[in-house]
Amino acid sequence: MTEPPHDPETERLLALLESQHDFPGRYTFKVIYRAEQVEVMTLVEALQAGTGLTVPVQADKMRSSSGGKFGSVSFDIEVQSADQVLEVYRVLREIEGVVSYF
């Protein structure tokens, strides 16, 4: 079974990822979220359910803003391809309370 063709923007992003990273390998995702709307484990569960990837959690990769309104977390995820990176971003885009990800 072949993958459906990607739109030009997706093709551009895939090419950029493939030029900057070696796949398979670890890819770091950084997420900023509203602490009153979402928790780290909510992010982990959504990512695992939406992608099928294992999402490790490390306490030293979590931070809170000084006022406690925002949190940030970094996930080092083993991915097989640039397509999987874009899939993680797609899932993050759908989570209410996620402010930014990169």
- Asked whether the beta carbons of 32 and 68 are under 8 A apart, the reply is no
Span 47-73, average pLDDT = 96
Rounded mean pLDDT, 57-83: 96
Give me the percent of the chain exceeding a pLDDT of 90.
Answer: 92
**Residue 102, pLDDT above cutoff 70:** yes
Answer yes or no: are the C-beta atoms of 91 and 51 closer than 8 Å: yes
Domain ranges within the chain, ordered by starting residue: 24-101
Q: What is the pLDDT of residues 1-44, one digit of tens each?
A: 445 567 899 999 999 999 999 999 999 999 999 999 999 999 99
Which pLDDT score is estimated for 51? Answer: 97
Number of neighbouring beta carbons within 10 Å of residue 26: 12
Report the chain's mean pLDDT, rounded to a whole number. Answer: 93
Which one, of 69, 68, 74, lies nearest residue 55 by Cα? 74
Give the pLDDT confidence score for residue 6 in this predicted structure.
Answer: 77
Residue-level pLDDT at 2: 46
Q: Residue 3 to residues 6, 52, 75, 83, 89: CA-CA distances in angstroms?
A: 9, 17, 27, 10, 18
Position 2: which residue type? T
Quote the pTM value.
0.88
**CATH number of 24-101: 1.10.540.10, 3.30.70.260, 3.40.50.720, 3.30.1360.30?**
3.30.70.260
